[in-house]
Structure 1
Amino acid sequence: MTTETATMPSVEPGPPPITLVTLFLKFLRFGALAFGGPVAQIAMLRQALVEEERWIGKARFNRLLAVLQVLPGPEAHELCVHLGMIARGRIGGLVAGLGFMLPGLALMLLAGWFYVGFVVRDTHLSVALLGVQVVVLAIIARAVVRIGQHIIENWLLGLIALASLAVTLADVPFWIPLATGGLAYALSHRPGAAALVLVAAAGLATAVHLFAVPAASLHAATGTSVTSIALFLAGLKGGMLTFGGAYTAIPYVRADTVGRGWIGDATFLDGIALAGVLPAPLVIFATFVGYVVGGPTGALAITAGMFLPAFAFSLILFERLEAIVENPSLHRVLEGIAAAVVGVITATLLHLGQATGSRLPAPALGIVLFAAALAVAWRVKGAWVTPAIIAAGAITGWIVF
């Protein structure tokens, strides 16, 4: 008996029989407790469904997480969709994903309503939010460093990131450094081909820079209005291009909203601050932007676009994800794109910093506040850190500015 027990193969863990209603309520609870960003959210899912309920083995969970981190989209949300599929197939993935995102969506809709109805009309609250905007820049700066530490693994990826930063500051469209970075890194073992890609990209960037109509002029000339379709596409772009974490959605949503004159940088940063304290994936900041720009309909449209890729990658490509990511050539393309994204988001941070600095009544005090917030974000860890920094920024802004 002992020998037979010792030689029996281990049984792969799996979820117990569960109804769709119970599955939805389980992930709704996860969503209501999803404070602290993706690291804390993934840790919560690991503890509940791997360590305690054994829905999935540890090794398989780690492989799945590695695959999802390479793909665009908020990885914690994609993980919920995937785990829901393990429990009840594709309909289970849809139910689990909706349950996880609904608490944050509802709270952000409420926050958008309160912001538009009350905050923008109250001078004291506006001043407090100026302090919040300063510390949010520090939080983003720390996030950029964290993202870069995981992505920039060699000098070539660092060079791609720096080149992407430079051309983005020169107003070159984001897709040029992304495509160039991916192709150049994939072809780095063939110097001639990589050089040809760089020359072609430089020529294209120069042509676009010289002949493109400035976004503000184009907006004025065509009379482009804010539509639900435009907001959906803005969210879809952000959802498709979030390589390396949720913060990388910021430049693309900003380009399609702030860049078109639909919303200001100050309000945009307020949305990021609110997303940082709510139990939700950080990309829920897009819901706030959509609400301010287009009301409840605009908020739902941009949210649908932002989360559609997170659902689609798991629901449609469930069986093929690991095979796709195992392709070495594609892996190098994704690594090059991710490095270019680091440059794009760094440029966006500098743009936001310039816009915020121009509004500060006391720039020197703003720099001190930024440095203090950055020091705390750099040295202190925990799910409570971001909300605490934002609260301190609000209080300091109220007192100082």
Structure 2
Amino acid sequence: MRPSEGTTVQQPGFSDLIRVFGRIGLISFGGPAGQIALMHRELVDERGWIAEGPFLRALNVCHLLPGPEAQQLATWIGWRLHGTKGGLAAGLLFVLPGAAVMLGLSILYAYAARLGPVAALFLGIKAAVLAIVVQALIRIGRRALDTRFKMGLAVAAFLALFLLNLPFPAVVLGAAAIGFLAARWRPAWLKAHGGHGEAPAGPLPWGRTLRSVALWLAIWAAPMAVILLTLGPDHVLWKIGAFFSQLAVVTFGGAYAVLAWMAQEAVQSMHWLSPREMTDGLGLAETTPGPLIMVTQFVGFLGAFRAPAPFSPLVAGILGAMLTTWVTFAPCFLWIFSVAPWMERLERAPRLQGALAALTAAIVGVIANLTLWFALHVLFARVEAVAAGPARLQVPDWASIDWRIALIAAGAALLVFVAKRGVMTVLGLSAAAGLVLSGLT
């Protein structure tokens, strides 16, 4: 029986929490929507550990925070049930299974990606990723763009990124600022959804929040301090940690929202991997449990693997992957343990809800930019940036199109949009098609 507002049917033991979140961490495929639905079924509907109202209010606030909202929601549930140790257990169990699988796949990729059969498999996976990203764009767009103002924000974000090459943080934070102001003067433009009623009474939990911020900032920075003292600021591990720490602060709207910016920096500025390898990494992340943002671990592994000194390539790659995971997910615990005592107050703040609504609308434009970027760099072997005034156009060489990827992508689109197949089925069939077409050619 589902619990009523503000109550739980029972207080689970800590061992029960470990067991249930261990299971959730192993089967949490399908992206944030599927992961949130899984937690709702397991924890609200079936076990009654959390009431419907608090679950939804916490989810609303998690959307306001940078980072993977499903993992943050899991951390908050653990915190609500068993305090800090419960939050740590739930959050870590949500991440660690996928991190272990992703590390193994990254090692396999680094050593075997150029082998014929493996390269053929990834040819199909690249094509499938195109259809999956388009599906994410359409799904998020239908949910987020329910006013003309939001549609305008989405178009503006796309043009700012794709044509003007503006920094991703500036685009998303600018959209949030616009929403914050619009919620005051034109709230109907946003149709923001938040809680109702008065904020809870009682003293403001400033002391608890400040202690959590100080502790988790120190935990977040600890490995970076070790690297700075032992390897220096020019080492690839420092650059990996610094870059993904920045990414953790601006990861609003889920992994798809920051992938284009991450790919642009990792590929074009850092030269850690190629555009097609970036797409391979996203395909691998789609096949693992846990947050899709785990693709960052793949990027960190390859970046360190290819500039390993003074370590061996394998050791450097593992250190790069572990560091990336640390600086990506340690901030999630910082946000939740600092914000959790404020959850009900934040969820009832109309201007923050307006900022979230505007930011979500802009994310649709960000994902549209990602979709086009992936399509150009996966379908075509050569893409040139052409300046046209303040704009920079990405122009493909049509003679360099890979007809095999185009054909498999069309088949993957039919599987996704017509046959309504799941991600794992689409990836598996596309990888098999890659093997067949590569064998024929």
Q: Shorter-chain TM-score: what band?
A: 0.7 to 0.9
Distance 1:238 1:151, change over 3 A: farther
User: Which residue of 2 is the match for residue 165 of structure 1?
Assistant: 158
Q: Per-residue deviation at 1:286?
A: 1.1
* Alignment match of 1:76 (pick from 70, 74, 82): 70
| 1:389 aligned onto 2:432 | no
- Write the distance in 1 (CA, Å) between the matches of 2:30 and 2:181: 38
| Cα contact 2:60–2:347 (8 A) shared by 1 | no
User: Which residue of 2 is the match for residue 202 of structure 1?
Assistant: none
* Alignment match of 2:239 (pick from 215, 227, 230): 230
| Cα contact 2:236–2:303 (8 A) shared by 1 | no
User: Which residue of 1 is the match for residue 276 of structure 2?
Assistant: 266
* Alignment match of 1:132 (pick from 108, 112, 125): 125
> Structure 2 matches for 1:105-144, cutoff 5 A?
105-120=99-114, 122-144=115-137
What letter matches 1:16 in structure 2?
A: Q
- Write the distance in 1 (CA, Å) between the matches of 2:21 and 2:327: 21
Distance 1:316 1:366, change over 3 A: same
Q: Per-residue deviation at 1:348?
A: 2.3
Distance 1:23 1:130, change over 3 A: same
Distance 1:162 1:333, change over 3 A: same
- Write the distance in 2 (CA, Å) between the matches of 1:159 and 1:17: 47
* Alignment match of 2:256 (pick from 243, 247, 253): 247
What letter matches 1:144 in structure 2?
A: L
- Write the distance in 2 (CA, Å) between the matches of 1:318 and 1:300: 27
* Alignment match of 1:276 (pick from 274, 286, 305): 286
Greater mean deviation of Cα atoms: 281-290 or 246-255: 246-255
- Write the distance in 1 (CA, Å) between the matches of 2:5 and 2:148: 44
User: Which residue of 1 is the match for residue 198 of structure 2?
Assistant: none
Distance 1:175 1:76, change over 3 A: closer
* Alignment match of 1:371 (pick from 384, 406, 410): 410
| Cα contact 2:161–2:369 (8 A) shared by 1 | yes
- Write the distance in 1 (CA, Å) between the matches of 2:121 and 2:12: 50
In the alignment, structure 1 segments of 5+ residues that lack a partner are 1-8, 192-223
Q: Per-residue deviation at 1:349?
A: 2.0
- Write the distance in 2 (CA, Å) between the matches of 1:12 and 1:124: 54
What letter matches 2:424 in structure 1?
A: P
User: Which residue of 2 is the match for residue 214 of structure 1?
Assistant: none
Moved over 6 A (4+): none
Q: Per-residue deviation at 1:99?
A: 1.4
| 1:174 aligned onto 2:168 | yes
Q: Per-residue deviation at 1:366?
A: 3.1
> Structure 2 matches for 1:1-400, cutoff 5 A?
12-13=7-8, 15-19=10-14, 23-120=17-114, 122-169=115-162, 170-188=164-182, 227-260=236-269, 261-294=271-304, 295-359=317-381, 363-381=402-420, 385-400=422-437
| 1:357-377 superposed Cα distances (whole Å, 9 cap, x missing partner) | 223976444333223322322
- Write the distance in 1 (CA, Å) between the matches of 2:96 and 2:174: 37
Q: Give SS of 1:270's match.
A: helix
| Cα contact 1:162–1:343 (8 A) shared by 2 | yes
Identity fraction in percent? 28
Greater mean deviation of Cα atoms: 271-280 or 366-375: 366-375
| Cα contact 1:25–1:99 (8 A) shared by 2 | no
| Cα contact 1:237–1:253 (8 A) shared by 2 | no
Equivalent residues, number: 357
Greater mean deviation of Cα atoms: 332-341 or 133-142: 332-341
| 1:227-286 superposed Cα distances (whole Å, 9 cap, x missing partner) | 223222333333333333332231232233123211111111111111111122111111
| Cα contact 1:233–1:302 (8 A) shared by 2 | no
Distance 1:241 1:146, change over 3 A: farther
Q: Per-residue deviation at 1:225?
A: 5.6
Q: Structure 2 length normalisation: TM-score?
A: 0.74
Distance 1:307 1:329, change over 3 A: same
- Write the distance in 2 (CA, Å) between the matches of 1:159 and 1:349: 18
Q: Which has the higher helix share?
A: 1
- Write the distance in 2 (CA, Å) between the matches of 1:93 and 1:380: 39
CA RMSD in angstroms comes to 2.5
Distance 1:190 1:39, change over 3 A: closer
| 1:106-154 superposed Cα distances (whole Å, 9 cap, x missing partner) | 111111111112223x023213312211210110111012122222221
| 1:5-27 superposed Cα distances (whole Å, 9 cap, x missing partner) | xxxx99821553523x5533432
- Write the distance in 2 (CA, Å) between the matches of 1:154 and 1:293: 42
| Cα contact 2:6–2:54 (8 A) shared by 1 | no
Distance 1:78 1:185, change over 3 A: closer
